[in-house]
Amino acid sequence: MRLALSHAAAAGDAGDVPVGAVVIGPTGTVIAAAGNEREVTGDPTAHAELLAIRAAARELGEWRLTGCTLVVTLEPCTMCAGAVVQSRVDRVVYGAIDDKAGAVGSLWDVVRDRRLNHRPEVLSGVLADECAALLRAFFTARR
Protein backbone atom coordinates (compact mmCIF):
# COMPACT_ATOMS: atom_id res chain seq x y z
CA MET A 1 0.00 0.00 0.00
CA ARG A 2 2.89 2.37 0.65
CA LEU A 3 3.98 2.05 -2.99
CA ALA A 4 0.41 2.72 -4.12
CA LEU A 5 0.37 5.80 -1.86
CA SER A 6 3.55 7.10 -3.49
CA HIS A 7 1.96 6.74 -6.95
CA ALA A 8 -1.18 8.44 -5.63
CA ALA A 9 0.87 11.38 -4.33
CA ALA A 10 2.63 11.70 -7.71
CA ALA A 11 -0.75 11.72 -9.47
CA GLY A 12 -1.94 14.46 -7.13
CA ASP A 13 1.20 16.49 -7.80
CA ALA A 14 0.44 16.21 -11.53
CA GLY A 15 -3.08 17.56 -11.00
CA ASP A 16 -4.98 14.26 -10.98
CA VAL A 17 -7.06 12.88 -8.14
CA PRO A 18 -4.45 11.15 -5.96
CA VAL A 19 -5.21 7.47 -6.42
CA GLY A 20 -2.50 4.89 -6.82
CA ALA A 21 -2.57 1.20 -7.66
CA VAL A 22 -0.11 -1.66 -7.62
CA VAL A 23 -0.42 -5.18 -9.01
CA ILE A 24 1.46 -7.87 -7.15
CA GLY A 25 2.17 -10.92 -9.27
CA PRO A 26 1.71 -14.58 -8.39
CA THR A 27 5.27 -14.78 -7.02
CA GLY A 28 4.71 -11.85 -4.65
CA THR A 29 6.67 -9.27 -6.60
CA VAL A 30 5.33 -5.96 -7.86
CA ILE A 31 4.71 -6.28 -11.60
CA ALA A 32 2.92 -2.98 -12.24
CA ALA A 33 2.12 0.31 -10.56
CA ALA A 34 0.34 3.49 -11.63
CA GLY A 35 -1.38 6.63 -10.49
CA ASN A 36 -4.43 8.31 -11.99
CA GLU A 37 -3.73 10.00 -15.34
CA ARG A 38 -7.14 11.28 -16.43
CA GLU A 39 -6.19 14.94 -16.35
CA VAL A 40 -2.71 14.39 -17.76
CA THR A 41 -3.88 12.26 -20.70
CA GLY A 42 -7.45 13.48 -21.16
CA ASP A 43 -8.53 9.83 -21.02
CA PRO A 44 -11.60 9.20 -18.85
CA THR A 45 -10.55 5.56 -18.41
CA ALA A 46 -7.06 6.39 -17.12
CA HIS A 47 -7.82 5.36 -13.56
CA ALA A 48 -4.85 4.03 -11.61
CA GLU A 49 -6.40 0.57 -11.39
CA LEU A 50 -6.92 0.23 -15.14
CA LEU A 51 -3.44 1.50 -15.92
CA ALA A 52 -1.89 -0.94 -13.46
CA ILE A 53 -4.01 -3.85 -14.72
CA ARG A 54 -3.05 -3.09 -18.33
CA ALA A 55 0.65 -2.88 -17.41
CA ALA A 56 0.44 -6.14 -15.46
CA ALA A 57 -1.17 -7.91 -18.41
CA ARG A 58 1.63 -6.66 -20.67
CA GLU A 59 4.22 -7.81 -18.14
CA LEU A 60 2.69 -11.29 -17.86
CA GLY A 61 1.92 -11.51 -21.56
CA GLU A 62 -1.72 -12.42 -21.06
CA TRP A 63 -5.01 -10.88 -20.00
CA ARG A 64 -5.72 -13.31 -17.15
CA LEU A 65 -4.14 -12.00 -13.95
CA THR A 66 -4.70 -15.22 -12.05
CA GLY A 67 -2.77 -15.25 -8.80
CA CYS A 68 -2.40 -11.46 -8.79
CA THR A 69 -3.40 -8.94 -6.15
CA LEU A 70 -4.52 -5.39 -6.93
CA VAL A 71 -3.63 -2.92 -4.18
CA VAL A 72 -5.29 0.48 -4.51
CA THR A 73 -5.56 3.53 -2.27
CA LEU A 74 -9.27 4.13 -2.94
CA GLU A 75 -12.11 1.66 -3.32
CA PRO A 76 -12.50 0.95 -7.05
CA CYS A 77 -15.41 2.39 -9.02
CA THR A 78 -17.77 0.30 -11.17
CA MET A 79 -15.50 0.56 -14.22
CA CYS A 80 -12.44 -0.59 -12.29
CA ALA A 81 -14.36 -3.28 -10.39
CA GLY A 82 -15.53 -4.61 -13.75
CA ALA A 83 -11.93 -4.68 -14.98
CA VAL A 84 -10.94 -6.64 -11.86
CA VAL A 85 -13.58 -9.26 -12.63
CA GLN A 86 -12.72 -9.39 -16.34
CA SER A 87 -8.98 -9.70 -15.71
CA ARG A 88 -9.46 -12.46 -13.11
CA VAL A 89 -7.46 -10.69 -10.39
CA ASP A 90 -7.56 -12.97 -7.34
CA ARG A 91 -7.45 -10.32 -4.62
CA VAL A 92 -8.33 -6.65 -4.18
CA VAL A 93 -6.82 -4.73 -1.30
CA TYR A 94 -7.89 -1.12 -0.86
CA GLY A 95 -7.46 1.70 1.59
CA ALA A 96 -10.12 4.42 1.73
CA ILE A 97 -13.79 3.67 1.25
CA ASP A 98 -15.52 5.61 -1.53
CA ASP A 99 -19.08 6.06 -0.33
CA LYS A 100 -19.97 8.11 -3.44
CA ALA A 101 -18.74 5.78 -6.20
CA GLY A 102 -17.26 2.66 -4.59
CA ALA A 103 -18.13 -0.66 -6.19
CA VAL A 104 -16.26 -3.08 -3.94
CA GLY A 105 -18.55 -3.11 -0.94
CA SER A 106 -19.75 0.38 -0.07
CA LEU A 107 -22.17 1.73 -2.68
CA TRP A 108 -22.15 -1.37 -4.90
CA ASP A 109 -20.39 -4.72 -4.65
CA VAL A 110 -19.61 -5.64 -8.23
CA VAL A 111 -16.71 -7.97 -7.45
CA ARG A 112 -18.74 -10.22 -5.16
CA ASP A 113 -21.87 -10.40 -7.31
CA ARG A 114 -22.71 -14.12 -7.50
CA ARG A 115 -24.09 -13.69 -11.01
CA LEU A 116 -20.59 -13.01 -12.34
CA ASN A 117 -18.09 -15.69 -13.29
CA HIS A 118 -15.25 -14.45 -11.05
CA ARG A 119 -15.28 -13.17 -7.47
CA PRO A 120 -11.95 -12.04 -6.00
CA GLU A 121 -11.15 -11.92 -2.32
CA VAL A 122 -11.44 -8.39 -0.87
CA LEU A 123 -9.53 -6.77 1.97
CA SER A 124 -10.53 -3.19 2.77
CA GLY A 125 -9.32 -0.48 5.11
CA VAL A 126 -5.56 -1.01 4.70
CA LEU A 127 -3.90 2.29 5.71
CA ALA A 128 -7.35 3.81 5.21
CA ASP A 129 -6.61 6.94 7.23
CA GLU A 130 -3.48 7.75 5.23
CA CYS A 131 -5.24 7.07 1.92
CA ALA A 132 -8.22 9.24 2.89
CA ALA A 133 -5.98 12.04 4.20
CA LEU A 134 -4.22 12.29 0.84
CA LEU A 135 -7.57 12.66 -0.94
CA ARG A 136 -8.90 15.19 1.61
CA ALA A 137 -5.79 17.34 1.30
CA PHE A 138 -6.03 17.29 -2.50
CA PHE A 139 -9.68 18.37 -2.58
CA THR A 140 -9.22 20.95 0.18
CA ALA A 141 -6.46 22.57 -1.84
CA ARG A 142 -8.72 22.60 -4.92
CA ARG A 143 -11.53 24.48 -3.17
Q: Nearest Cα to 92, choosing from 121, 57, 112, 53?
A: 121
Cβ pair 135, 100 in contact under 8 A: no
What's the CA gap between 88 and 76, in Å, rounded?
15
- Active-site position among 49, 59, 75, 121: 49
Angle formed at CA 54 by CA 53 and CA 60, multiple of 5 degrees: 85
Is residue 131 part of an annotated ligand binding site?
no
Known binding residue 118? Answer is: no
Q: Does the annotation flag 47 for ligand binding?
A: yes
Concerning whether 49 is annotated as a catalytic residue, the answer is yes
Catalytically active residues, by annotation: 49
Task: Give the annotated binding-site residues for Zn(2+).
Answer: 47, 77, 80
Can you say which residues are annotated as belonging to the binding site?
47, 77, 80
